[in-house]
Each structure stands twice: as structure tokens, then as C-alpha cells.
Amino acid sequence: MSKHKKVYVYQGFERFWHWNQALLIFLLAFTGFEIHSSYEFFGFETAVDIHNKAAWGFIILIVFAIFWHITTGEWKQYIPTTQNLKAQAEFYLFGIFRNAPHPTKKTIISKLNPLQRLVYLGLKLLVIPVMVISGLLFMFYRYPQGDSIAMINIDNLEIIALVHTAGAFVLLSFVVVHLYLITTGHTVTSNLQAMITGWEELEDEDDSPEHDVNSEKTDTNTSGS
């Protein structure tokens, strides 16, 4: 039976960024759908004001997150890999319901499994930039220039609106799946607690099958020298 030890996995800024990003996404989604007249809660003008302020907060958070990822080297966590990709997909589709062992071992230098790397990389390089750019086009398609109002060369905002809304649904879909997957740790709340405290129980590498194989190879080489 493999042993587990508590490891400080998520740093302070990482947790700050995660929770504030989640809060801003929920706030943007809630006010965004009200702007689309899905319901009435704040009122249209207030919803627009909150949405715009939350958008600026989100952009500022993104800037700090990019700086943090670059300076700490955490950007390497998102480098895609095909190793165990098929096994990870099969685990989420079938193995997780049979209590099968997780095919990927989490470590400090490899916090994400192959599927998570692909999904998070897609969000950071495609979905979120599209959301930010389309949102800014909405904000600034009319802007003051001297005594007149100049307009960015956009004939029709309908396409931008559709792209922005589609991106919102993609983000919400991710959030729903993410909320489910955080319950699939060692216990239902272990992943949630890890993102609150920073500490998580990880499998001791000294007890992993890979370590045993490497140890045997080392012993064999030593005995034969």
C-alpha cells in the first residue's frame, strides 16, 4: 500500500490568483447574462457597470498572473505532453467510476495531468484572450477623440457578441467540470482544502513503482561494478 505525505503544493499567490479568478468569472458571468436580459437582479445599468469593473479586475489579475508564472517558472506546468494522455482520458471516462488508481502521480514540479495541461493551456492561450479582446472591443467600439466620437472600424458587433457569449459558455462549462473534478481526490474535500491551505497529501515517491524499478536498476548496476 502506497504511503502519502503532506506537501506544500500551492503557493500563496497561486491560491490568491485561483480564488479571485473564480470570483471574477462568476461575477462576470452573472452580470453578463443579466446584460443579455436573461433575468433582472442588479438592473441593466448597474450590471453593465459591475461587469466592466470586474473585467478590468480580471485583466489586472491576468497581468500579475503572467508575471508570476514567468518569474517562478510555473509556466512549465502547462507544457503539453502525450504521455499517459490516453490513460488519463480512460480514467475520467471509466476508471474513476471503478475506483481505479490514478494513472498520473502529482508532484510539486508536475501538478497537472496530461488532460489538465491541454485544457488549461487552451483556456490561457485561446479562450481567455478571446474573451478579453472581444470584451474590450465592446467597451471601446466608441471612444472620445477631441470633440468628436471616433469609432473603431467595426461594421457589426453581432459577431463579436456571439464570440464573447460562446466564450462565456465555454468558461462556465469548464467551471462545472472543474467543480466536479475537485471532489475526486483522496477524499471529497481534499482538493478543496489543498487550494485553501496550500498543503496536499501526495503519494510518497519513495513508495511509487517507478522508484522501485529505478532502485532495482541502481542495485543491479552497483553489484555488477
- Give which of 83, 118, 115 is closest to 96, Cα–Cα: 115
CA distances from 37 to 27, 31, 34 (A): 16, 10, 5
Assess if residue 224 is contained within a domain: no
Residue 74 belongs to domain spanning: 4-219
pLDDT digits (tens, 9 = 90+) for 96-141: 888 888 898 888 999 999 999 999 999 999 999 999 999 998 887 7
Q: How many domains does the chain have?
A: 1
* pTM assigned to the model: 0.81
pLDDT at residue 1 greater than cutoff 90: no
Query: Does a structural domain hold residue 225?
Result: no
Does the residue 153 lie in any domain? yes
CATH of the domain at 137: 1.20.950.20
CA–CA dist 46, 3 (Å, integer): 53
161 vs 10, which has greater pLDDT?
10
Do 7 and 203 meet the contact criterion of CB atoms below 8 Å apart? no
Residue 79 in domain? yes
d(Cα 167, Cα 174) in Å, to the nearest integer?
A: 11
Distance CA 35, CA 135 (A): 13
Residue 193 lies in a domain: yes
Q: Is 180 among the domain residues?
A: yes
pLDDT (tens digit per residue) in 15-43 = 999 999 999 999 999 999 999 889 999 99
**Could you tell me if residue 60 is inside a domain?**
yes
Region 152-171: mean pLDDT is 81
Amino acid residing at 38 = S
Distance from chain centroid for Cα 223:
47
Assigned domain for 174 exists: yes
